[in-house]
Structure 1
Amino acid sequence: MDVIFENSWQLLDGLAVTIQVTLGAAVVALLMAFTAGLGRLSRFRTVRVLSVCYIEFFRGTSALVQLFWLFFVLPFFGVTLSPMIAGIGGLGLCVGAYGAEVVRAGILAVPKAQIESAAALNLSSAQMIWHVVMPQAVRIMLPSFGNLFIELLKISSLVSLITLQDLTFQAASINAVTLRVVPIFTSVLVLYFILSMIINGFMRLLERRFNVGIEPGIAR
């Protein structure tokens, strides 16, 4: 394990980059998920079509190729992105497309009786969405979003292929010099697992927070 201690600062630098990419991409993914998810339910056909095009394109193409396109292809069109921006943007757009379906399904899962009751109270569309639909829909969405964020953490290692010095990149660099494969990649495996457990714990806390006052077994 001496190789780990000798290169601990390099691994910690990579860990910090991995956390930064994951958090940044999660913010982008949430924004795109709610934008496209609500867009799919819009009464305007153009908005629905644009939302579907975004969702199907990013779900139907490789996340790695998307990153390569943003980082290596865009410069040919006069747009150059830093590895960090390309990594956060690419992963956020990709995961956001899957999140959009979670948002759509969560909203559709809200009982119609709730919406009819809100309409009977003469609530506006905006009031209905934010005070009646969203509180119930978010509670339904949280478990799926937890899974998506863990998947986001795992695919964040792809940014090492666009020269971003994340945890995987640093581990590969250390291994290239020391050739100590087992301790290096075992340590990295453990670090990814710890991060995923932190995400899982945080999402469980959010679920408990949103389920306050809801009795177990009651349909939501």
Structure 2
Amino acid sequence: MSSSIEVLRVLMEGVKTTLSLLIISAIFAYCIALVAGLGRIARVRVIRYVANVYVEFFRGTSLVVQLFWIYYALPVLSQMIPFIPTLNLSSFWAGVIAISLNYGAYASETVRSSILSVGKGQHEAAIALNMTRFQRMRYVILPQAIRMMLPDFGNNLIQMLKSTSLASLIGLADITYVGMIFRNTHIDLGMTVFAMMLVLYFLLAIPLIWLTRWAERVASRGVVSE
């Protein structure tokens, strides 16, 4: 029992870091997703092109490799480019940037498809009311589309929680990192460490699972029909 308490005490030191990484990454990821999703349906070809390149690049490459590039390669590249300050990102902010950009790319497809799913009748009704394009998007299209985005956003949040463990590869002291360090110095407690890490991640995921189910209930109420 005393060994389990010791393992739990060590792992709890990484819980705060994991939660901080998750919350900040999620905020940035969903903001990026909204901008990129709107960019992919923009009328201006250049904006669509830039948004598509961003989405396909970050969806088509590994999050682990993105983490390594942002944490290890960017500081080196910044030193090689004149008139640009050297980038020395901490492991925490490197993790935030990589996870935000990666999941923002995936979530942007949810934004795009949800907006396009709003019936044409809604667009026509807004036009009949003499609304501008911005007003139509803000007051008519987005409120309906957001309800359809909620379930996928909830699932992305759960996936994001699990992906935070990858930040341990660049030295971030999250649950996985502190657990592995403790396990390496206490080989006899290896099974206990892994079991408690599993339980901790599951306990952190439970509120997100409830949130996702709530979002599904909200979305199931439907949007205004044509």
Query: Does the alignment reach a TM-score above 0.5?
Result: yes
User: Which stretch has the larger CA shift, 153-162 or 73-82?
Assistant: 73-82
Normalised by the length of structure 2, the TM-score is: 0.90
Normalised by the length of structure 1, the TM-score is: 0.93
Q: Which structure 1 residue ranges, 5 or more long, are not aligned? A: none
The separation in 2 between residues aligned to 1:188 and 1:11, in whole angstroms, is 7
1:128 aligns with 2:136: yes
**Alpha carbons of structure 1 residues 22 and 69: separation in structure 2 relative to 1, 3 Å:** same
The separation in 1 between residues aligned to 2:35 and 2:222, in whole angstroms, is 31
1:114 partner amino acid = Q
The separation in 2 between residues aligned to 1:139 and 1:215, in whole angstroms, is 8
Per-residue deviation, 1:203: 3.2
Q: Aligned residue for 2:35?
A: 35
8 Å CA contact 2:151–2:219 kept in 1: the answer is no
Residues 110-121 of structure 1: matches in 2 within 5 Å?
110-121=118-129
User: Which stretch has the larger CA shift, 197-206 or 58-67?
Assistant: 197-206
Q: Aligned residue for 1:154?
A: 162
Per-residue deviation, 1:84: 0.7
The separation in 1 between residues aligned to 2:162 and 2:172, in whole angstroms, is 15
2:93 partner amino acid = I
Q: Which structure 2 residue ranges, 5 or more long, are not aligned? A: 79-85
Q: Aligned residue for 1:10?
A: 10
The separation in 1 between residues aligned to 2:222 and 2:136, in whole angstroms, is 23
2:140 partner amino acid = V
RMSD, aligned α-carbons: 1.9
The separation in 2 between residues aligned to 1:2 and 1:83, in whole angstroms, is 32
The separation in 2 between residues aligned to 1:115 and 1:95, in whole angstroms, is 29
The separation in 1 between residues aligned to 2:119 and 2:184, in whole angstroms, is 56
**Alpha carbons of structure 1 residues 219 and 114: separation in structure 2 relative to 1, 3 Å:** closer
Q: Aligned residue for 1:167?
A: 175
Q: SS of 2:88's equivalent?
A: coil
Residue-pair matches, total: 217
8 Å CA contact 2:74–2:87 kept in 1: the answer is yes
**Alpha carbons of structure 1 residues 199 and 64: separation in structure 2 relative to 1, 3 Å:** same
8 Å CA contact 2:118–2:145 kept in 1: the answer is yes
2:110 partner amino acid = V
Q: Aligned residue for 1:196?
A: 205
Per-residue deviation, 1:109: 0.7
Q: Aligned residue for 1:62?
A: 62
The separation in 2 between residues aligned to 1:52 and 1:144, in whole angstroms, is 20
1:182 aligns with 2:195: no
Q: SS of 1:164's equivalent?
A: coil
Per-residue CA deviation, residues 73-103 of structure 1 (Å, 9 max, x unaligned), is: 1111221101111001111100000000010
Q: Aligned residue for 1:21?
A: 21
1:138 aligns with 2:146: yes
Q: Aligned residue for 1:107?
A: 115
The separation in 1 between residues aligned to 2:170 and 2:71, in whole angstroms, is 7
Q: Aligned residue for 1:74?
A: 74
